[in-house]
Structure 1
Amino acid sequence: MSDGASGRYRAGETALLAVVKEAEPLVGPWRQRFDSFAASGVPAHVTVLVPFLDVDRIDAAVTDELGALFGRHAPFAVRFDSCRRFPDVLYLAPAPDAPFRALTEAVVARWPEAPPYGGQFAEVVPHLTVAHGREAHVLDEVEAALTAGLPVTADVTSVSLFATDGDRWHQRAEFPLLGPTPF
């Protein structure tokens, strides 16, 4: 997700996202105002991997392999009960975050040429971005409003492949998590 500030992206870029529909009622209005990715067609989500392979590298074999890879992972419940921050980013923190980390690690193990966030960060921190690129006082206001609506709980049952045409992101495929559910 190359250039969130301008709202323009590199055509053909892809992302693997765990869409969190249950968070949309709480975060959707804020994301529309303060997260350019929302206005570009990206729903509330926790990123599994971005950037992934360029869209011209994703053929039936890659799609089948993604389906098998994600299918080995079990669906899981997640709870978002707190806001946290990176510099100029406000996000909801998922608990547990280990299943998201496991999904990312599995994809990177298979496609090491696609490191998370292009290798920009030493540690991947699963998160659901609500606002970015704003002054601290704006993030403070958004956080105060969000806190009143927490917690949000969700069942993560799939990972979706999104691709951009340069202006908007579009869902290209959805891969169910089918592994055995832990008891």
Structure 2
Amino acid sequence: MTDPKDTINIENVVASTGIGQELDLQSVAMDLEGADYDPEQFPGLVYRTQEPKSAALIFRSGKIVCTGAKSTDDVHESLEIVFDKLRELQIPVDDDPEITVQNIVTSADLGENLNLNAIAIGLGLENIEYEPEQFPGLVYRLDEPSVVALLFGSGKLVITGGKQPTDAEAAVDVIISRLSELGLLNGSF
């Protein structure tokens, strides 16, 4: 059986940074090729990079949020492209602005079907939300690592709230351990 940790896949990395000064987004939008800016729809300017693929949300305050990247390296590479584009527009940007990962969303597969009703009872209600009429997944809030895992009857997982890729591995370990202790997992990992 495949080790569930080998199935972990980063789906999205969200990070934030800033250039420490206010921007005239209308002016930036006119000069930055490929920028989308419609303040009636969204207060920030959207600039998409293709390689690596991501979107930078640039706000008037100078704050920038990068989303859609598939790795922390891609976040840094994408934001470096954005910084260079802003520098080309004569907007001063520090050589190495601080970039903070806010959220890493990963998926994984336990490789077997799960009885979510039994899991909800077994794990106890203090860390669990499970309302199958509202949402087909069970929401499991872990303390360590501090992430939220969505468990689905198919055995698939979505782990969100991680700050580093290893948080997903730790979460999968905790989930396997807890479900095994409860006798709710057949696999031998």
With the length of structure 1 as denominator, give the TM-score of the two structures: 0.28
Greater helix fraction, Structure 1 or Structure 2: 1
